[in-house]
Amino acid sequence: MNADKMAKMEVKTSLLDDMIGVGDMVLLEPLDEDSFINNLKKRFDHNEVYTYIGSVVISINPYRSLPIYTPEKVEEYRNRNFYELSPHIFALSDEAYRSLRDQDKDQCILITGESGAGKTEASKLVMSYVAAVCGKGAEVNQVKEQLLQSNPVLEAFGNAKTMRNDNSSRFGKYMDIEFDFKGDPLGGVISNYLLEKSRVVKQPRGERNFHIFYQILSGASEEFLCKLKLERDFSRYNYLGLDSARVNGVDDAANFRTVRNAMQIVGFMDHETQSVFEVVAAVLKLGNIEFKPESRANGLDESKIKDKNELKEICELTGIDQSVLERAFSFRTVEAKQEKVSTTLNVAQAYYARDALAKNLYSRLFSWLVTRINESIKAQTKVRKKVMGVLDIYGFEIFEDNSFEQFIINYCNEKLQQIFIELTLKEEQEEYIREGIEWTHIEYFNNAIICDLIENNQTGILAMLDEECLRPGTVTDDTFLEKLNQVCATHQHFESRMSKCSRFLNDTSLPHSCFRIQHYAGKVMYQVEGFVDKNNDLLYRDLSQAMWKANHSLIKALFPEGNPAKINLKRPPTAGSQFKASVATLMKNLQTKNPNYIRCIKPNDKKAAHIFNEALVCHQIRYLGLLENVRVRRAGYAFRQPYEPCLERYKMLCKQTWPHWRGPARAGVEVLFNELRIPEEEFSFGRSKIFIRNPRTLFKLEDLRKQRLEDLATLIGKIYRGWKCRTHFLLMKKCQVVIASWYRRYSQQKKYQKIKSSTITVQSYIRGWKARKQLRELKHLKRCNEAATVIAAYWHGTQVRREYRKFFRANAGRKIYEFTLQRIMQKYFLEMKNKMPSLSPIDKNWPARPYLFLESTHKELKRIFHLWRCKKYRDQFTDQQKLIYEEKLEASELFKDKKALYPASVGQPFQGAYLEISENPKYKKLKDAVDEKIIIAEVVNKINRANGKAASRIFLLTKNNVLLADQKSGTIKSEVPLGDVTKVSMSSQNDGFFAVHLKEGSEAASKGDFLLSSDHLIEMATKLYRTTLSQTKQKLNIEISDEFLVQFKQDKVCVKFIQGSQKNGNIPTCKRKNNRLLEVAVP
């Protein structure tokens, strides 16, 4: 909160400050209907939508959002006196909450007004304020959240769009919020009254059914709609009015998501939510069932369902046998003692049964929802609780066509008006007695006579309606009206054209089928049509039993009377008697609590902002009895205020009380009023409050205070300006003294600096002259000493040279040369020590030669160092590594720059055993046949001598033999001693072909030489070379040529290698050209 808002909040101490119009109607002068309306209009035009009548709040619906409900506003009204700030619903909420918390008084907040006046929003604001100011904590926050989230659920199922209101509550709601001793919420209990279930099957033109139907169709996913057997198109359902299916500014899809989230927060389980929506879908689909007439043989008419597809889907949703439900729509069974009579239903009766089932199903679902919510939000502890009740109920209704619903609603409002007058007078009387003020009787209209007309147990309208419904024989609305005309004809508040009272016989404004009641809010004409049926609220027993037979747990629970084991032949209570009992319970509950009233007014019928229809507001003021309320409040004393705030507000009007009064507040107020010479009949002193009889007296005090505040403001301004000027003068004087002292100091500092600078300059010149003089003397002395030293040195040198001339000439040159050479060599080696390269054998860096005569030494040293670091590197090898490097070195000597395949083999380690002979059971026979160590085992391709085609063979090299074996069977095909191998031939190209030449005349050479192909040619040739050298002590001849001769039995064949692209990619191919030529194509 910024500083401006803080300042404003601190300054404002009464609703009389900066008042637009009159904030409290009790202070209105003159008091009449026109001034009352003008005051409301003036405040409404300035966005002041709240006005007081004493402790009653008048709320005018602005039809737009106003910035007066922010968290800052909540804090502003928190723990403040009721009359301390501008009128606001938060002030009443805070007063009620603090009375409950601090004084341990149960509270109730009664919110009344007609449809569209903002009752539902007012109840939300009250609950949100209480939730904001009460305690914090995880458990408390959860309770608050559940209480607040119960609203969206009940609004979705109980509210609808009407001509007067887009979110009209079509049921009455009373919520008891329970608190602990600290004022933290523990839970709540909700009671609902008279849901307008007739809206389920029929809505007036321009209005909608209950919100939940449109929300499901708009917001549910396609998959969810499919489960409910619904379609998104509103026009598919007869129970939904199409002319107002869409409402501007209302997002049904978003509201559906809000409702599902709210149900989850309140505590509905997933299967419960699913069951609820299944029942809603069933109600919606019931409206699509249509009937057709059909004549029976006995001449009676009966009805049949036209299209049974809708019935089938309803039965699938609810788990009801289709034949059972179909029969319930076509027949009615009447039971009397031990007899059962079954009659057929004509089309009109079938439609009545269908609509009755839809209404009952939805009404009972709504009651179940309220009960289920109560289970979730009820207090979990057994401790004593404080209770705050919030009543949001329909206001007084006067339509063009008023029926049973309006009659019941207006009866409820009569009872609320009765308790309002009684509690208001009671509160006034208690305050007068508490303060010791004499109580005077107040004349007011007591509407008990109207309530008695409606609810009297013998002659009341409800009693006669119940009697008519229970009477045997033909019962119609006309017979009911006739009975009313007989019993109520002489009642002064009952009017009927057919009554015995002759004064209404010629009243053309009163039709014959209507009666009129003069309520406290005005006359209302009721059409008697439908009173009997709506009061009966009849649902055929066949339908109840069909619902009880459903496999749907929720539907079965909604119709307990359908259980055949619990058949009750007693007629169920009528709607009127049920509502009368509920209202009696409500009134009894309200009388045990301290009442707080919010009267809601609708400014116009267009639901538009900034429009104030005086005629409409006047009508509401009359039927809400607001003027009478003001008169009751003003009877005796119009204004009362505790002594402390009164003295604090008006103490500046008396010199004795200004600025501080040291004694008791009451004594100060007495001194103040005596000083102002206010007539004694205009005020009275209570025990803790001052009572002012006439508003004019209060306004006189306010005018005097305003004038005095202006005088005080002028005086304060004068004193402030004088103080400011004196302060400014003293500050300027002090500044002048400071500036003068600083200037004088600065001036003296400058003068001193100038003298000091001049002195230093003179001193520097003198010191410089002395220093230069001394320098000249020292230089002269130094030159003299140097000259003497030089002369002496030359003289001593001459003497020495004369003495040692013969020695110097014989040895001095050689010794100097040796010494110089020694120093150069020493320096060279020391530099080499610091510039030595790394120990890596492949590092070719070497320091540059410093002297030309060291050329050979430098090269030799480089060679020795390289040999030494190679030795150091080799010493790190294991025996296995040495063997590998020896083989690699041997391969380098044999094939480097000779065989194109060699570079690719350098990076490949020589493994030798490429076949796991010892581990593979396939080669067990081969392993048993070879008892020597196998040096290399590899699969090679043996070239056929006849056609050049290849055959896979296993090539084995042992210490003494070369063996070729069959790859599949492991059978040894050839075994050649190493001594019989004379030469190995291969090409210089990138191929794996090689020929193993055998010694002529040997046993193995009988079939000729071997022409083989291998992927590891370099390794095989190297190992064969080293093994032969090791065993025979003779080097094996390795011939590398692109043409060589191979002995095939008795013939010698030339193997020629050529370049060319191959169809097989990069694989060399061998082809027999003729008897003497075998051609190998290498890619």
Per-residue pLDDT of 330-349, as tens digits, reads: 888 776 556 677 788 888 88
Report residue 1007's pLDDT band, with 50, 70 and 90 as the boundaries.
confident
- Strand, helix or coil for residue 257: helix
Distance from C-alpha of 273 to C-alpha of 298, rounded to nearest angstrom: 48
Distance from C-alpha of 891 to C-alpha of 1019, rounded to nearest angstrom: 8
Sorted by sequence, the CB contacts under 8 Å of residue 280 that are 6+ apart come out as 212, 213, 216, 362, 365
CB 555 within 8 A of CB 547: yes
Sole residue written with tokens 């409402």: 247
Quick one: tokens of 871?
Answer: 């030795």
Residue 333: strand pairing partners: 342
Sorted by sequence, the CB contacts under 8 Å of residue 581 that are 6+ apart come out as none
Q: β-strand 172-179 against 386-392: which pairing, if any?
A: antiparallel
* pLDDT for res 207: 87
User: What's the rounded mean pLDDT across residues 776-780?
Assistant: 93
The string of DSSP letters for 386-408 reads EEEEEEE-------SSB-HHHHH
Sorted by sequence, the CB contacts under 8 Å of residue 240 that are 6+ apart come out as 208, 209, 213, 214, 234, 284, 287
CB 481 within 8 A of CB 496: yes
* C-alpha gyration radius of the chain: 59
**Would the pTM of this model clear 0.75, i.e. be above it?**
no
Residue 54 CB neighbours (<10 A): 22
CB 92 within 8 A of CB 55: yes
Quick one: tokens of 195?
Answer: 């849901």
* pLDDT for res 418: 80
Report residue 281's pLDDT band, with 50, 70 and 90 as the boundaries.
very high
Report the share of the chain in percent with pLDDT over 90: 18
Q: Give the alpha-carbon dihedral of 790, 793, 794, 798, to 10 degrees.
A: 170
Does 745 score more than 90 pLDDT? yes
Instruction: Report CA-CA distances (Å) from 348 to 353, 354, 489, 536.
Output: 9, 10, 35, 18
Of residues 1061 and 48, more confidence is placed in 48
- Strand, helix or coil for residue 213: helix
Per-residue pLDDT of 303-327, as tens digits, reads: 888 888 888 998 998 889 888 888 8
* pLDDT for res 10: 39
* pLDDT for res 338: 61
Instruction: Report CA-CA distances (Å) from 720 to 198, 634, 714, 717, 733.
Output: 73, 44, 10, 5, 20
What's the DSSP call for residue 595?
E
Distance from C-alpha of 32 to C-alpha of 864, rounded to nearest angstrom: 128
Look at 79-83, 354-358, 1006-1010 and tell me which has the smallest mean pLDDT. 79-83
Residue 845 CB neighbours (<10 A): 9
Residue type (1 letter), 7: A
Report residue 11's pLDDT band, with 50, 70 and 90 as the boundaries.
very low
- Strand, helix or coil for residue 718: helix
- Strand, helix or coil for residue 518: strand
What's the DSSP call for residue 1062?
B
Does 769 score more than 90 pLDDT? yes
* pLDDT for res 278: 93
Please, what is the angle between helix 252-266 and helix 138-158, to 10°?
130
Residue 794 CB neighbours (<10 A): 10
* pLDDT for res 501: 58
Distance from C-alpha of 409 to C-alpha of 413, rounded to nearest angstrom: 6
Sorted by sequence, the CB contacts under 8 Å of residue 407 that are 6+ apart come out as 461, 526, 531
Quick one: tokens of 458?
Answer: 């013998």
Distance from C-alpha of 641 to C-alpha of 697, rounded to nearest angstrom: 14
Instruction: Report CA-CA distances (Å) from 860 to 821, 846, 856.
Output: 19, 12, 6
Quick one: tokens of 510?
Answer: 């009163």
Look at 210-214, 386-390, 705-709, 727-731 and tell me which has the smallest mean pLDDT. 705-709
Name the residues annotated as catalytic.
Answer: 115-116, 120, 165, 168-169, 395, 397
Per-residue pLDDT of 670-691, as tens digits, reads: 778 877 777 777 777 877 787 7
Instruction: Report CA-CA distances (Å) from 456 to 8, 248, 336, 408, 479.
Output: 56, 46, 31, 14, 20
Please, what is the angle between helix 211-219 and helix 252-266, to 10°?
100
CB 669 within 8 A of CB 643: yes
- Strand, helix or coil for residue 157: helix
Residue 1069: strand pairing partners: 1081
Average pLDDT, the chain: 83
Report residue 3's pLDDT band, with 50, 70 and 90 as the boundaries.
very low
Look at 75-84, 101-110, 498-507, 797-806 and tell me which has the smallest mean pLDDT. 498-507
* Angle at the Cα of 193 from the Cα atoms of 188 and 196, rounded to 5 degrees: 130
Does 2 score more than 50 pLDDT? no
Distance from C-alpha of 25 to C-alpha of 30, rounded to nearest angstrom: 10
Distance from C-alpha of 25 to C-alpha of 52, rounded to nearest angstrom: 6
Does 181 score more than 90 pLDDT? no
Sorted by sequence, the CB contacts under 8 Å of residue 27 that are 6+ apart come out as 638, 639, 695, 698, 699
* pLDDT for res 741: 93
Distance from C-alpha of 1083 to C-alpha of 1081, rounded to nearest angstrom: 7
Residue type (1 letter), 289: I
Instruction: Report CA-CA distances (Å) from 1068 to 901, 949, 950, 984, 1080.
Output: 13, 12, 11, 19, 7
Does 899 score more than 80 pLDDT? yes
Does 9 score more than 60 pLDDT? no
* pLDDT for res 1004: 74
User: What's the rounded mean pLDDT across residues 10-22?
Assistant: 64
Residue 149: strand pairing partners: none
* pLDDT for res 974: 85
Per-residue pLDDT of 831-840, as tens digits, reads: 888 888 888 8
- Strand, helix or coil for residue 930: coil
CB 183 within 8 A of CB 97: yes
Does 666 score more than 90 pLDDT? no
Per-residue pLDDT of 850-889, as tens digits, reads: 888 888 888 888 899 888 888 888 888 787 777 878 888 8
Per-residue pLDDT of 617-656, as tens digits, reads: 998 888 777 887 787 776 666 677 788 877 887 888 787 7
User: What's the rounded mean pLDDT across residues 966-987?
Assistant: 86
Does 1062 score more than 50 pLDDT? yes
Does 756 score more than 90 pLDDT? yes
Report residue 603's pLDDT band, with 50, 70 and 90 as the boundaries.
very high
Quick one: tokens of 553?
Answer: 């747990």
Does 1012 score more than 60 pLDDT? yes
* pLDDT for res 8: 38
Does 506 score more than 70 pLDDT? no
Distance from C-alpha of 483 to C-alpha of 461, rounded to nearest angstrom: 9
Residue 401: how many CA atoms within 13 Å on its side-chain side? 4
Residue type (1 letter), 720: Y
